[in-house]
Structure 1
């Protein structure tokens, strides 16, 4: 006899909150569906009427992957939808599908010689103009199904969609998306701070993570949490300190923070020639690094030979330390050894990767470090 597992009863308020979030998000995505021929899309791409946004330009399929895609077209296999967004100037940003469109364009421009095809191996070595004119015309008349996002779709939603639906294999991560779509003085500062020797020494990570701009992601998270943390508030779990605008949607939270901070710093520079906000943030970041270097023998890693910096560990140490220094700047001179805390069971529990983005967990691990240092 199979024993039935009893499900935990769901709080109706939990369901209501989920429904509310679904309704709020779904209202931000409006679109129309159409079809365009390869020839039409290539023409628009060549005249810059359709364009690839900055955060996608560095990501290009290998020649083998391009060839396999062209082979799929010849085989008559369905091509996934591509997503466009019409900007304020009337041009079309390619939100998803740039790899396919660029491959079609380059093949029709004779820039691709097919290779390593398995289903149609006889086509290996051939370029577009090597095929009969009839085959060229049939290829040019093939169509792509296009979803055009409404002009009201904001940048956060577009990049969220790109991250979720991208079918191009190699995709831009969040740090790369923000770098490409949110240029500005704060973005420049994030890049600069991520490259400082002291920060690199405290965050020994692998080269693949460096290439994916993991350090920029860490710097962004530090500022987003620190600047948004209000110690005067009591959070839902009864703890002292809250981040009101954090709703367990980290990608949107970081994006909004970077966008707003870029605008604020840019406005200060335009008005005064310099930015007190940027200067204060940079100074606080560097003081936090100085402090962590003094109090944590292993920096943000777990051991002297460690080459990983879990984000939850970094957030708790970096933000918690900065908050403690705000209350008691003298900590920088006393420099208490933080190793007992980092080796403690509460810290290990607080920095588990499960439910990393849950607000209560985030606040808990930040407060743990802040409060421990406050007693020193």
Structure 2
């Protein structure tokens, strides 16, 4: 692989890991509730229980078809789950988090709940939902074709829910974010930003989605990331560009708090964010092209956030526009600075490392 090769999702961010996250304390309250299956289905269809899509392209609160494109059981798993309910067997519980408007967001149990909605509607993945991988008495049946006693059994089956609440409305999402990570540790692994999109949807995530289509950014990053790493880097730039003074590690909690704060983004702030990103990524592309933000073959997340903040800061100075050749020289000099390289190479989420590299990058471009 030569230095110009671009590989999707090849990002050097592993150096951010620290041991401080093992000291994390959960500031949440919990209570249990038993829901009948037919009641769960009604609540899902009304939007009282929300299945997250983990995808900022989907703006609807409950888009089953879009959700299933990425997270769906096999037909065998769906059939066996419905069969367990028809047989009166116990099934695993679900985890819900209460939102400020009293809706319940599904943290764990998405596949089970979507399977129920699909069975009651009679459609699974655009096909008729007919039971196949089940005992003979249920084979070929749909919900509407069940005998009255079978329908009552599944309607009245109870699924236990653990409902999680924040201790106050002003509390940030870090506790719920960390719980989400733990609950989704098996099966299809969610990326940090997929979880963030689920917990803090809104105007900021929509803006990040739009900025992600910038052609200069796409040439630098490469193919669109299936795990939303490109979205997360844009959010990271915005967060450190506008809130660096309040940065506290770990980085993932900082980004989640920023996403929560600006979820209801107003037009003026959105325009400022757009101008800042578009201007900085344009300069970075002029300076280094496809090789921007790379110390090796991989895009370095710490180089990205610091250089982008440095370039955006320089653009804030206004006219005259900086000379591209002079900026290129400043960029190359920065990448040879031993202090800077140390700050982007180890423990890069630590507060002192973040402050060090951003300070050096801002200073490098300030005089150009």
CA distance in structure 1 between the partners assigned to 2:281 and 2:256 by the alignment: 24
Residue aligned with 1:335, SS: helix
1:195 correspondence with 2:187: no
The Cα shift of 1:219 comes to 1.2
Q: 1:124 and 1:351 mapped to 2: Cα distance? A: 59
Partner of 2:308: 318
TM-score, with length taken from structure 1: 0.68
Distance, in Å, in 2 between the alignment partners of 1:227 and 1:128 is 53
Shift of 1:293: 2.0
Gaps (5+ residues) in structure 2?
Answer: 1-18, 55-61, 124-128
CA distance in 1, matches of 2:121, 2:289: 57
1:213 match = 228
Partner of 1:50: 49
Post-superposition offset of 1:38? 1.8
Structure 2 residue matching 1:369: 3-state secondary structure? helix
Unaligned ranges ≥5, structure 1: 1-13, 230-242, 270-274
Q: Which residue of 240, 243, 246 maps to 1:228?
A: 243
Partners of 1:185 and 1:107 in 2: CA distance: 33
Task: State the 1:197 CA deviation.
Answer: 1.2
Report what 1:113 is aligned to. Answer: 130
Q: 1:284 to 1:42 in 2, by over 3 A?
A: closer
The answer (yes or no) to whether the contact 1:175–1:217 under 8 Å persists in 2 is yes
RCO comparison, higher one (Cα < 8 Å, 6+): 2
* Residue 220 of structure 1, CA deviation: 0.9
Equivalent residue number for residue 32 of structure 1: 31
Distance in 2 (CA, whole Å) between partners of 1:224 and 1:49 is 31
Change beyond 3 A, Cα 1:97–1:197: same
Aligned to 1:97: 109
8 Å CA contact 1:99, 1:168 repeated in 2: no
Shift of 1:192: 2.4
The 1-side partners of 2:242 and 2:172 are apart by 22
How far did 1:318 drift? Answer: 1.8
Residue in structure 2 matched with residue 41 of structure 1 by the alignment: 40
What CA distance in whole angstroms lies between the structure 2 residues aligned with 1:372 and 1:163?
38
- The structure-2 alpha-carbon separation of the partners of 1:358 and 1:63, relative to structure 1 and needing over 3 Å to count, comes to same
For residues 26-53 of structure 1, the C-alpha deviation after alignment (integer angstroms, 9 at most, x for no partner) is 2xx1121122222332233344443335
Name the SS for the 1:80 alignment partner. Answer: coil
Q: How does 1:1-376 map to 2 (within 5 A)?
A: 22=25, 25-26=26-27, 29-53=28-52, 55=54, 57=63, 58-60=66-68, 61-64=72-75, 65-70=77-82, 79-111=91-123, 112-114=129-131, 117=133, 126-128=141-143, 133-150=148-165, 152=168, 156=173, 157-166=175-184, 169-170=187-188, 173-179=191-197, 182=200, 184-204=202-222, 206-207=223-224, 209=225, 211-229=226-244, 243=245, 245-263=246-264, 266=266, 269=267, 275=268, 277-300=269-292, 302=294, 308-323=298-313, 332-333=322-323, 334-337=326-329, 338-339=331-332, 341-342=334-335, 349-352=342-345, 355-373=347-365
Point out the structure with max Rg over C-alpha.
1
CA distance in 2, matches of 1:298, 1:200: 9
What's the CA shift for 1:291?
A: 2.4
Q: Tell me, in whole angstroms, the C-alpha distance in 2 between the residues paired with 1:192 and 1:129.
A: 43
Q: For residues 342 and 70 of structure 1, what CA distance do their matches in structure 2 show? A: 58
Residues 45 and 279 (structure 1 numbering): CA distance in 2 closer, same or farther, change over 3 Å? closer
Change over 3 Å in CA distance of 1:202–1:92 after alignment to 2 = closer
1:132, 1:220 → 2: CA distance? 52
Aligned residues: 326
Question: Alpha carbons of 1:350 and 1:73: their partners in 2 closer, same or farther (altered >3 Å)?
Answer: farther
- The secondary structure found in structure 1 opposite 2:306 is helix
CA contact (8 A) 1:97 1:167 kept: no
Spell out, residue by residue over 1:213-271, the C-alpha distance to the aligned partner (whole angstroms, 9 max, x if none). 33221111001011123xxxxxxxxxxxxx3x3221333322332343455x52xx5xx
